Chains A and B, each alone.
Chain A
């Protein structure tokens, strides 16, 4: 690698902020507009820039102005793929919109070299009455290609889309999947120095998604282009990106290598997804659960685990009367509530910890059924479908297969 510190960032974002007004536009907004204009005429600062709250959509605010983005700073080096991570409403789309010049910033600036091509949607500007071929030209031109550039790549684009047979049929006759493929095919052959991509990869079938991810990697690795990529999908983020920035309520608290950024995001995005807490009056039972939590090896509550981490389930049990026959049973369920595997203890204690080995569960969402029982005699206490957790694939051998359904657990089988 070259001396990174000597290289100049291809894109530099400085103190970028964006303010939005909430509510509808009508006669009420006219007075604010006039006030703003009057300040401007007298050469004063916009009075509404000093107000505004951070963008927390769940709490009721007092101001009708919010900062969708506030003082964002970051730099991207040529050839890097930057992942932008954040919850809904964190400001990801606003950032992308400003980067793609769809809307302007309120304050701050972005400096960059070369062209920025943006892919906030595939097939932008497709006209249903025009044929696939005509739409390739139209869409390409909208994205900033010249007619010559498109003509030179036409065969490649048609081939990539896999819609050759329909290419002279109006797009309105296409299936939605085909329209998306065609749109992505055009976009993938765009050659700006900086490419801004929203979650367009979330469309199309698995085969096409793999193709799309491959194309993006190719664009950055082999052609040295810079990509800014927004996604909720931690899989594609780890797959693609080299660096990540986290956005939260319009500010950017963290930027680093992609895995660290994801880790930071997941820890702070921690929400209680149904850990079990007994808060009613004690039960009239000889033994019952008071608290069940999903934790990591150090006992810290957590819901999202990397494939390389141990997942632990910590139990607190109230034991009124000891019984040597009691056993603790735990069923791990997948997203469809299908049992994947189960564990059974020998006896029970007040505090128990179940460790699920790392590199065992495949990526996905899980929950548990768990109960205290005397086998085939009685069920003492039962907790159903609680304690959700998620496994994120950060580099298993099967990661390249994307969303292909290759099962629920990894095995250590051998080829002879």
Chain B
């Protein structure tokens, strides 16, 4: 009787949905909202500034300059024979993309509580829009990197790109999904108990030192190498640099590990996020 009744109606609101019902169709229906969120984040960020989008360039340039000055200049750390500026910019661009994705998605629920409390739309739209905004920002960073790359080639530096450069789109997708997955996981877990949020805030900064952003993998002492290898971002950043410079290490195992980690974390994040979104308003 009850089952037959349900069939007569197109929709139902029930206490709990099935765990793996990801409602992707619904997200697709809200794609316009997704794009408008991206546009809002972008436009709102640099309204009433004089330099506007130029700020997208200024941030990585300064970051790179400082790293080059401190680590390559003063501490004379190895950069695998690559011009330090280029070496650090490559790492920074990738790392910032991942870190921004993670940081901004990880407080989705707490930051949007007032909006989520008033109107329903698939909550996953918000983190997805953040990933797309960050992707655009990454694109600008990549453009800056390519310009400098060409400048160094033109001024006679020996830079050897190779066919592994074709993996670039895969790397970009992996970084985004990893940040998104981890972020959704954290945001779902921080609605009720916020402890994890603080860990993420400074953990992301610390974690950078466990990637080949500053030290190439080849220059890491054997004792500490497993630590860096355990970081799933290592494989991605190493592959990125290998593709552009043909120095450093590339292994399918390492990249495979990163990819596997990403897929698991992403699916887990999506499931937990969907499970949380229904009742999070009561505890946030």
Distance in angstroms from A371 CB to nearest chain B CB is 52
Q: Which residue of A is nearest B115, CB measured?
A: A125
The yes or no answer to B253 lying at the interface (CB within 8 A) is no
Verify B6–A111 contact, CB threshold 8 A.
yes
Distance in angstroms from A312 CB to nearest chain B CB is 45
Report B257-284 CB contacts with A as 1/0, cut-off 8 Å: 0000000000000000000001101110
Complex CA gap A107/B119 in Å reads 21
Distance in angstroms from A99 CB to nearest chain B CB is 8
Complex CA gap A114/B120 in Å reads 15
**Most chain A beta carbons < 10 A, residue from B15, B47, B115:** B15
Within 8 Å CB of A84, what residues of B? none
Verify B47–A102 contact, CB threshold 8 A.
no
Distance in angstroms from A141 CB to nearest chain B CB is 4
Within 8 Å CB of B281, what residues of A? 97, 102-103
Complex CA gap A134/B39 in Å reads 10
| Cβ-neighbour of B13 out of A98, A120, A143 (below 8 A) | A98
Within 8 Å CB of A20, what residues of B? 282
The yes or no answer to A101 lying at the interface (CB within 8 A) is yes
Verify B9–A134 contact, CB threshold 8 A.
no
The yes or no answer to A130 lying at the interface (CB within 8 A) is yes
Report B1-44 CB contacts with A as 1/0, cut-off 8 Å: 00001101111111110000000000001101100110110011
Within 8 Å CB of B71, what residues of A? none
Number of interface residues of B (CB under 8 A): 37
Complex CA gap A112/B13 in Å reads 8
Q: Given A8-B8, A125-B115, A141-B33, decide whether A104 and B16 contact each other with a Cβ distance below 8 A.
A: yes
Distance in angstroms from A42 CB to nearest chain B CB is 17
Verify A142–B121 contact, CB threshold 8 A.
yes
The yes or no answer to B56 lying at the interface (CB within 8 A) is no
Verify B193–A30 contact, CB threshold 8 A.
yes
Verify B36–A110 contact, CB threshold 8 A.
no
Q: Which residue of B is nearest A146, CB measured?
A: B32
Within 8 Å CB of B10, what residues of A? 112-114
Within 8 Å CB of A147, what residues of B? 32, 36
Distance in angstroms from B206 CB to nearest chain A CB is 26
Verify B283–A25 contact, CB threshold 8 A.
yes
Verify B279–A103 contact, CB threshold 8 A.
yes
**Most chain B beta carbons < 10 A, residue from A108, A112, A113, A125:** A125
Distance in angstroms from B113 CB to nearest chain A CB is 11
Report A15-39 CB contacts with B as 1/0, cut-off 8 Å: 0000011000100011001000000
| Cβ-neighbour of B115 out of A29, A124, A134, A170 (below 8 A) | A124
Verify A129–B119 contact, CB threshold 8 A.
no
Verify A111–B43 contact, CB threshold 8 A.
no
| Cβ-neighbour of A102 out of B9, B39, B117 (below 8 A) | B117
Within 8 A of B (CB), among A92-136: 97-114, 116, 118, 120-121, 124-125, 127, 129-130, 134
Complex CA gap A137/B32 in Å reads 9
Complex CA gap A136/B281 in Å reads 26
Report A78-92 CB contacts with B as 1/0, cut-off 8 Å: 000000000000000
Report B214-255 CB contacts with A as 1/0, cut-off 8 Å: 000000000000000000000000000000000000000000
Within 8 Å CB of B44, what residues of A? 127, 129-130
Verify A111–B30 contact, CB threshold 8 A.
no
Q: Given A12-B9, A25-B283, A129-B43, decide whether A104 and B278 contact each other with a Cβ distance below 8 A.
A: yes
Q: Which residue of B is nearest A108, CB measured?
A: B15
Verify A142–B33 contact, CB threshold 8 A.
yes
The yes or no answer to A138 lying at the interface (CB within 8 A) is yes
Q: Which residue of A is nearest B112, CB measured?
A: A125
Distance in angstroms from B61 CB to nearest chain A CB is 26
Within 8 Å CB of B40, what residues of A? 127, 130, 134, 138
The yes or no answer to A144 lying at the interface (CB within 8 A) is yes
Verify B118–A121 contact, CB threshold 8 A.
yes
The yes or no answer to B152 lying at the interface (CB within 8 A) is no
Verify A141–B32 contact, CB threshold 8 A.
yes
Q: Which residue of B is nearest A33, CB measured?
A: B192
Q: Which residue of B is nearest A26, CB measured?
A: B193
Q: Which residue of A is nearest B16, CB measured?
A: A104
**Most chain B beta carbons < 10 A, residue from A30, A120, A142:** A142
| Cβ-neighbour of A104 out of B5, B117, B121, B279 (below 8 A) | B279
Verify B13–A141 contact, CB threshold 8 A.
no
Verify A142–B119 contact, CB threshold 8 A.
yes
Verify A141–B15 contact, CB threshold 8 A.
no
Q: Which residue of A is nearest B40, CB measured?
A: A127
Q: Given A111-B11, A129-B47, decide whether A100 and B119 contact each other with a Cβ distance below 8 A.
A: yes
Instruction: Give the A-binding residues of B (Cβ under 8 A).
Output: 5-6, 8-16, 29-30, 32-33, 36-37, 39-40, 43-44, 47-48, 115-121, 192-193, 278-279, 281-283
* A-B pairs with beta carbons under 8 Å apart, 28 shown: A29-B192, A33-B192, A102-B117, A102-B119, A103-B278, A104-B15, A105-B15, A110-B13, A111-B6, A113-B10, A113-B11, A114-B10, A118-B118, A120-B119, A121-B119, A124-B115, A124-B119, A127-B44, A129-B43, A130-B44, A134-B40, A138-B37, A138-B40, A141-B32, A143-B119, A144-B30, A146-B32, A147-B36
Q: What are the 7 tightest A-B residue pairs by CB atom distance, in nearest-first order?
A: A101-B120, A141-B33, A111-B9, A110-B13, A104-B278, A147-B32, A103-B281
